[in-house]
Amino acid sequence: MEQLTASADQLEQLAEVLREYLRDKDAHRENTLNYLYSQPELIAAASLIAPFDAEQWLDLFAKCYNSLEAKARDLKINKPLHAECFTLYIPLALHIAQRRIEIFDQHSHAPIIGINGGQGSGKTTLNYLLQIVLKEAFGLHAVGVSIDDFYKTYAARHAMAESIHPLFATRSVAGTHDTTLAINTLKTLRSLSSGACSIPRFDKSLFNGEGDRLAESKWTTTLAPVDVVLFEGWFVAAEPQTDDELKHAINDREREEDPDGVWRQTLNHHLATDYAELFDLLDELIVIQVGGMETIYRNRELQEQKLREATKDNTGGAGAMSPEAVIRFIALYERTTRHMLKTLPNRARIVMNLGESHRIESVRVNPPSDELRGFN
């Protein structure tokens, strides 16, 4: 089932009501509840994700909003998030908290929730902010993990480039991650009831933007217990293509640098084998669906602009890609991205469609079935 979200004007009005509520919760509670019950279109999409209970949602909002806004400032998000918190983060956290109970009852481990989204879609921000809401509103320890931190080392990728195909020097697609490390880390995290787990870190600015894994002494340490694992990445849950789909190059870079198809056949083999094992660990999938490749290029270039700005004082922006380099880089993502845009909405439990204004414009929730990740 799919439902349009509220308009920008409606969300701004909701934000003002919620701001008033936070200023004096006792004085404004009744008016706020009356407003919420009188505006069903505000929460129509959100209520697909979790059953709407105005009093419960308002209490959860009050518990987590200040911490969420503080984290947003750390992430350089310089806008209030009252409406987004209430209509997106609260229902998603409610859904995940319920899924945690179900998964633990069935399998005795914390759920691994996959978050998929194209370059610059906001999946990493969603990951960070969901961790805050789950902690402050539900008392749950949610650990965020990015597939990017499991990229193979610079040396390992260049060894692949020499032995298999030069394009594997570039971190991007299936084959350029240490899937064994990823599988072992996720399995440890979901069962972590005591002790600690180290999560790798990858610095994309090293080697002039090619990136490298940091030394283990700089990895992130997560302490037990872990209640939820949020596993995000641009191609989390991607699936292999058919042989027919691999026959023809999809863009100029493939035509020029992979004319015999060795690169694309190799990455597809990885998707069908070791990445399939990795993604089979998912207990549920959330997808942020973008409009297409043009949107992904625009979002990625914006990310690189921010990186150039952030590093200009220390390196003159040398760790970030130029606009021309972004075009060549995104070309490596295109094949897998187009395939995911076509296939993953039918494999995800929750699909959030991202509009041109970078706002979620509609939400789709697929009923549980064997077709969905985590339900088969």
Q: Sorting pLDDT into bands at 50, 70 and 90, what band is 294?
A: confident
Q: Which long-range contacts (CB under 8 A, 24 or more apart) does 154-159 make?
A: 154/206, 154/207, 154/210, 154/211, 154/212, 154/213, 157/210
> At residue 188, does pLDDT exceed 90?
yes
> At residue 172, does pLDDT exceed 90?
no
74 lies in some domain: no
Q: What is the pLDDT of residue 195?
A: 95
Instruction: Choose among 146, 178, 182: nearest CA to 159.
Output: 178
Contact 286/88 with Cβ under 8 angstroms?
no
255 lies in some domain: yes
15 lies in some domain: no
Q: What is the pLDDT of residue 317?
A: 55
125 lies in some domain: yes
Length of the chain in residues, anyone? Answer: 376
Q: Sorting pLDDT into bands at 50, 70 and 90, what band is 208?
A: confident
DSSP secondary structure letters along 35-52: HHHH-GGGSTTHHHHS--
48 lies in some domain: no
Q: What is the pLDDT of residue 376?
A: 65
**Residue 284 burial by Cβ neighbours in a 10 Å radius (0-12, 13-18, 19+):** buried
- Which amino acid, residue 179? T
pLDDT digits (tens, 9 = 90+) for 356-372: 888 999 999 999 999 99
Q: How far apart are CA 11 and CA 6, in angstroms?
A: 6
Q: Which domain holds residue 153?
A: 88-365
Token pair recorded at residue 83: 């409406």
pLDDT digits (tens, 9 = 90+) for 343-359: 999 999 999 999 888 89
Sign of the Cα torsion 51, 56, 61, 67 reads negative
**Residue 62 burial by Cβ neighbours in a 10 Å radius (0-12, 13-18, 19+):** middle
| Torsion angles phi and psi, residue 72, rounded to 5 | -60, -40
Mean pLDDT of 177-197: 97
Number of domains in the chain: 1
Task: Provide the pairing of β-strand 350-354 with 284-289.
Answer: parallel
pLDDT digits (tens, 9 = 90+) for 8-50: 999 999 999 999 999 999 999 999 999 999 999 999 999 999 9
| Other Cβ atoms closer than 10 A to 128 | 18
Sign of the Cα torsion 160, 166, 169, 173 reads negative
Mean pLDDT rounded to a whole number for the chain? 93
- Ramachandran region, residue 175 (left: φ > 0; alpha: ψ -120 to 50; beta: rest): left
101 lies in some domain: yes
| Torsion angles phi and psi, residue 239, rounded to 5 | -120, 160
209 lies in some domain: yes
β-bridge partners, 4: 362
Q: Sorting pLDDT into bands at 50, 70 and 90, what band is 313?
A: low
What is the CATH classification number for the domain harbouring 340? 3.40.50.300
Q: Does a cis peptide bond (omega within 30 degrees of 0) precede residue 166?
A: no
Q: How many angstroms separate the most distant Cα atoms in the chain?
A: 70
Q: How far apart are CA 232 and CA 103, in angstroms?
A: 19
Mean pLDDT of 193-201: 96
25 lies in some domain: no
Say how many CA atoms lie within 13 Å of 13 toward its Cβ. Answer: 10
Mean pLDDT of 67-80: 94
pLDDT digits (tens, 9 = 90+) for 218-231: 999 999 999 999 99
Q: How far apart are CA 351 and CA 287, in angstroms?
A: 5
Q: Which helix (H) or strand (E) holds 96?
A: helix 90-107
Task: Provide the pairing of β-strand 284-289 with 112-117.
Answer: parallel
> At residue 161, does pLDDT exceed 60?
yes
